[in-house]
Structure 1
């Protein structure tokens, strides 16, 4: 399928497999992060410098010419054409200008990751559910101290715990928008 036919497809036409295939490369994910932050067309040189800085864990000013050239070349020859082929970015090779498309915004959910020091929310909810079930069994088996509250009191306490946890989760997710981060989510901010 040609580039024009691919770029005419809507974002809903990409399968999850295609999306993950495109986004499996860290350099491509860095490109999307930078484009979302800038929210305007960027020049290839500027993009290559920032991606190299993230990859080599340095500042843009300290990126060597060799590091920048290495990133620039692979972006120009491989990554940007691939992102453009599936209409995630618009890449004008003649002008050396890249811009995120509307499809790039649709991919934000696929770029979310959980930092190594953070408990994934699904595991927290699973743990809370397990504790609630164990508490129900303890009340049913009349384990000592399980009668501190009556059944309704325990149900209210569990409901409050789940509601507060869900509220914190919603707040956390709203504050973790990709464009709001200072660096890509793959870079541990504690080490920076």
Structure 2
């Protein structure tokens, strides 16, 4: 989204799949974590922790063995000699997502935008730091996406009622059909 805001002439149509940035977690009361704290947490990343997070946030509690390959790819980055570097990059990325949500700048996006949202997506970075009463309210992507589309000059919403954060992984054929349909409107 930032690229689209900064370089609008380079993009004809922006497609966003369950994008982070549609919610201002800090404004909602999620406690801040320093880059050092995020880095320390990232160093503890394992296959099991990635899978547990994805199962809870991405796939609405369900899991298919085919999803393991995506966890293996992500976990593999933490397994080798570049582990510390990956942990720092992820910590810095998490800090940027938390401190610079694009939700406040949607009106600046000029080109057509298609939001593709899995209605089971509940991704909310930092929700593990939030009080439980707040954490359960975060990451309501169907509601967040509908509000975002209303603020976009040329926005359209494609929803996948039975899918989560990664509809392109859960049902690639349906995702690709909807993607191509959105790009030809």
TM-score, normalising length: structure 1: 0.29
Structure ID, larger Rg: 1
TM-score, normalising length: structure 2: 0.30
Relative to its length, the structure with more helix (as a share) is: 1
